[in-house]
Amino acid sequence: MVRINTMDSYLYEHQTAPLKELINASTSLNQIRADSRGMIVYAGDAKELETLEQTYNSHKETF
């Protein structure tokens, strides 16, 4: 029973807990993709491009 408890703790700490980081990385990558597309769409609008660049850089750091 002790071994099961130990292995259960190991499984959670080393296999399941990192899912949070994976979800954050996936979300950031999707936002980077959307911002990149937005930069193409708003190529002539400097204000919108600056806003997109700021969010892009923010999510790039998170990723």
Every domain of the chain and the residues it spans:
19-62
35's tokens: 């911002």
pLDDT in tens, 9-62: 888 777 776 778 888 888 888 888 888 888 788 788 888 888 888 888 887 777
Q: What is the dihedral of CA 47, 53, 56, 61, to 10 degrees?
A: -130
- What pTM was computed for the model? 0.55
Q: How far apart are CA 61 and CA 56, in angstroms?
A: 9
User: Which of 9, 11, 29 minimizes the C-alpha distance to 21?
Assistant: 29
More confident residue, 63 or 56: 56
